Each structure stands twice: as C-alpha cells, then as structure tokens.
Structure 1
Amino acid sequence: MTAYHELLPIAVKAIERASTVLREQPPGALTPKGERDVVSELDYQIERDLRAFLHDLTPDIGFLGEEEGISGSGDLQWALDPIDGTANFVRGLPLCGISLGLIDGGQPVLGVIDLPFLNRQYVAARGEGAYANGQRIEVSSTTTLNEAIVGIGDYAVGPGATGKNELRLALTAQLAQKVLRIRMTGSAALDLAWLAEGRLDAALTLSNHPWDMTAGVAIATEAGAVIVDGDGTPYTRDSSVTLGTTPALTDLVLSHLAAARASTTGCGRGG
C-alpha cells in the first residue's frame, strides 16, 4: 500500500512554490479559452514549473495539468489546477488558489489547496485526517437544508452551455426554496475546502474535471464529507458530477437533483 502521507511534504512544497508566484506576479497576457473563458500567462507558468518540479522529485508518478494535459504514466497521477478561479484572479477577487491532488486507481487520495489571498492552506492524505493551517478540521454538524449554506459551481460556458445550464438553474431554483443561503464562489477547490472546514454544508458542481476536484475531494472526505456522483454512487475521477455534503444532507441533495432533472428536458447529465 502506498504511504500517501510520505508524498504530502512534496505536494506542500510544490504548492508553496506556486503560491509565492500567485501572490507576487500579475496574471500576464490573457488568452481566450473557448467561449467566454480565459487562461492567463501565469496559469501556464505555474503548471510548467510544478510539472517539472514534481517530475524531478516523483518521476514514477504521472501528471495531469488543466492547461497542458498529461505527461508521464504510472499507477499514481498528480492532478493540478494551477489557478482555480482564474476569472476571479484576473479581476483581483481573492477567491482563487492552487489545487494539487493525487489520484490512485481513480480515487483522490491526497490533496493540498492553497488560498494565498485568504492565508489558508488545506492538506489531507488518506487515513490521516484533514487540516487547515495545521489545525484538524471537520465538516459541520448541519442536518437540515433550512440551516445549510450551499456552494454551487459556476454555470457552464462554451458549447452546449444552454442545455447544461437548464439543469444548473433548475437545481438552483429547487434549493433556493429550501436552504439557508446559496453561494457561488467561482472556485470548486475553495468550495470543497470550505465544506471540509464547515464553512459550507454542501459543495455542488455539476461537472467533474480531475484537476478541479481531486485535491478538494480528498480533503473534504478526510474531514468527514460524503462525496458522490449524481446517482448517489461514490465519487471517482469518472463521475459525471461532484456532490459534496455533510453526511446528513446527501440524500436530501440527491432528491433535489433528481427533481431538477425531472423538470428539465435533455439535461440528464452534468458537464
């Protein structure tokens, strides 16, 4: 069995390299990334630096970056979002960070998320618990939706966005009638970290990209969250959506997702 915690110091060191850059450098040139989306020069810079850094220290572990894809191979794979919340970052909004996770057999097993403008770093390795700035964290004890603050992932952009957003809007409408508050931060990593810390009671993203989710799922799971696909099966890198909740809210959220799907046409899957 892989001792995931032995890789945690390497992941932390990589994240801290990136965090320093994110604090100190401007976004640089922006490049269109599909319809109504951009990638910054700094996204590429951070990803290339961490790809090389991690290859030098862990040459037997593959690497998946949001911007430039896969390199290397092996049973284990790093998954990096160099700037999660690029749109926030380029506008000077502090809700952004770096997300680095480790995948083993399709499962998130380690994660580090750094939110440099909020001075928070979250870490976890399977079986070792979850920590924020060195302090053990756990999900909230919220058991009812009317007490819950729920984070919802960004609405879709690009091809097929209209159809995908029918489901997102329907779920938002379902939950708006039941929950205490809905929040949209623009960073999936931040949502999952805040779920782990008890700031949010659910973090719902109707899509699943490993670079976005791996670290946050690992951290939230170690903090006691339940992370499932849209049909209630346990989360894997191949899940269609990413639903993270406190244990008591899982079935309630799934029922509202089912109702949202039933109220829409042609929106059976997230994306």
Structure 2
Amino acid sequence: MDRTLTNQTPNLSSADPELHVRILAGHKAVLDQVDYFRANFGLTQSRWKGDGTRVTEVDETISVQLFSALEIQFPADDYCSEESVETPEPIPLKGEFAWILDPVDGTNNYAVGVPECGISLGLLRNGLPVYGFIYDYGRDNLLQGGPHFGAIEGDRPVHAAQSLVNEKLTFCMHFPIPVEELNALNEALQVWRIRCPGSAAVGLANVATGRLDGCLEFRAKPWDCAAGYAICEGAGARFRF
C-alpha cells in the first residue's frame, strides 16, 4: 500500500489571511502525527477513565504534540482536546479561534486493532466550525474541508448524498441509544440499513463522501463532531439538532 498522504488542500482563495494560515497549520499538524498513529495501531497500552471511556498512550501523546505545535503559532487561540477536559461544565471560549481535537477517535477500535479510527481536528471561529481535518486510518487518507471551501478526500472532491429514498437509506448510528429514544426510532430501525463504525469521525467522513446517507448520534461530544461538522457542510450535508 502507498502510505504517502497528499499535501493538497481545497481552493482556499476565499479564506482571509487569519483563517488561511490556520488551515495550513492544522493540515501540517495532523499529517505530522500520522506516522506515529500508524506505528502504534493495535499495539499501544490503554486504560479506562473514570467516565468509562478508554484512553491510550497515543491519545495523550498526540494531544500534547499536536497542540504544542499549533500553540507556537497561535498562542491566543483556545485549545480543547478530549484528553485535556476534566470538567463536565462548558468551557468558555476566550479567543476568536478555537481548536477541538480528538487525538484518537474510535479509541476502542484503535486499541484492539479495528481499523475504523482516526485523528479528528476541528477549527472553530467565534464558536462555529469553519474547517475540519479527519485522518481516516482504515482508508489511510485525509479528509478535509469546510463551509465555502468544499471538501476533499486526498485530492478528490467529495459530496454528500442528495437523492435520499427512505427505504434505501444507509445510516451510521452508535450505541448505546437512550431508552427514551428507542420508540421514536422503532420504524426507522426496521427500514434503514444501519452501520456502526465505532468512530463518530469516520461515520461523518462517510457521510461527507456519500458512502453513507446520514449519521445519527445521541451522545456525541464536541471533539467527536467538530471536524466532521465543518467537512460535511463543505460537502453539502445538512445537520439537525
């Protein structure tokens, strides 16, 4: 397999200088972590956190290294990683730009050697996702994009599915699902074709590329979907909350 990722980005001519420089820096920061991510797939040590989620040494290392690289260029920006959040309370944003990172999205998969996992980095401006990067380990490529920029997978433009027919829908969904939501989903679960990749970022990547028709999440955190939200919007997908 060719393990070399493209350095291409979408057309960024519409980005102002402050956004443009951050997109290029985020692009490099993610690619700089890919070799380390690949080398430790299925091999890294892990432990269980108090909230019942798994964390690996790779989560913690990428979180520190990736943000350290960005903080040199953008010390006034806000930074939030799944591995740096210790409070359930909302974290107020102080700057115009904020970086939201899941260093290993799909940690359970990554730790045991299931390839649906990756690095997810979202860039927010005034609280809204404006650009995202998802390194998809299983496909060994970089998906990126945002509103006004479109979305590309590697060097290929991608678009969300548009012709949706209810009985033919293929949706991504993650479990467990809250009991109170099951009745509302009863009909859909009998009609839709359901996939559960175990990674919110990979699920949204598949929506952005049109491989899946949609994604339904009930317990997603900002780091799960910040990058995917921006990319999906760039690919023409719509969100409902």
Could you say which TM-score interval applies, normalised by the shorter chain? 0.7 to 0.9
- Aligned match for 2:80, one of 60, 64, 69: 64
Distance 1:207 1:2 in 2: 34
Q: Contact 1:46–1:82 (CA<8 Å) still a contact in 2? A: yes
State the shift of 1:37 in Å. Answer: 2.5
State the shift of 1:82 in Å. Answer: 0.2
Query: How do 1:117-266 and structure 2 match up within 5 A?
Result: 117-155=138-176, 165-170=178-183, 172-179=185-192, 181-229=193-241
Aligned-residue Cα RMSD (Å) equals 2.1
Equivalent in the alignment of 1:7: 22
Percent identity between matched residues is 31
State the shift of 1:59 in Å. Answer: 1.7
Q: 1:196-216 deviations in whole A, cap 9, x for unaligned? A: 100000111113411111100
Q: Secondary structure at the residue paired with 2:50? A: coil
Q: Secondary structure at the residue paired with 1:94? A: coil
Q: Contact 1:5–1:126 (CA<8 Å) still a contact in 2? A: no
Q: 1:93-136 deviations in whole A, cap 9, x for unaligned? A: 00000000011222110100001232121011331111101111
Q: Contact 2:146–2:232 (CA<8 Å) still a contact in 1? A: no
Q: Contact 2:200–2:220 (CA<8 Å) still a contact in 1? A: no
Q: Contact 1:100–1:112 (CA<8 Å) still a contact in 2? A: yes
- Aligned match for 1:84, one of 105, 112, 118: 105
Distance 1:106 1:191 in 2: 23
Structure with more relative contact order (C-alpha pairs < 8 Å, separation 6 or more): 2
1:17 aligns with 2:32: yes
Distance 1:72 1:36 in 2: 27
Q: Contact 1:5–1:128 (CA<8 Å) still a contact in 2? A: no
State the shift of 1:168 in Å. Answer: 5.0
Distance 1:71 1:106, change over 3 A: closer
Distance 1:41 1:169, change over 3 A: farther
Q: Secondary structure at the residue paired with 1:154? A: coil
- Aligned match for 1:52, one of 62, 65, 68: 68
Equivalent in the alignment of 2:122: 101
Distance 2:92 2:135 in 1: 23
TM-score, structure 2 length as denominator? 0.84
Distance 1:15 1:74 in 2: 22
Q: Secondary structure at the residue paired with 1:189? A: helix
- Aligned match for 1:28, one of 39, 44, 63: 44
Amino acid at match of 1:213: C
State the shift of 1:145 in Å. Answer: 1.4
Distance 1:23 1:113, change over 3 A: same
Distance 2:199 2:181 in 1: 16
Q: Contact 2:93–2:127 (CA<8 Å) still a contact in 1? A: no
Distance 2:209 2:80 in 1: 26
Q: Contact 2:132–2:228 (CA<8 Å) still a contact in 1? A: yes
Distance 1:201 1:57, change over 3 A: same
Q: Report the number of matched residues.
A: 220
State the shift of 1:58 in Å. Answer: 1.8
Amino acid at match of 2:25: I
Task: Tell me which moved more, 19-28 or 124-133.
Answer: 19-28
**Mind listing any 5+ residue stretches in structure 2 that lack a counterpart?**
1-14, 86-90
Distance 1:144 1:165 in 2: 26
Distance 1:49 1:71, change over 3 A: farther
Distance 1:212 1:24 in 2: 23
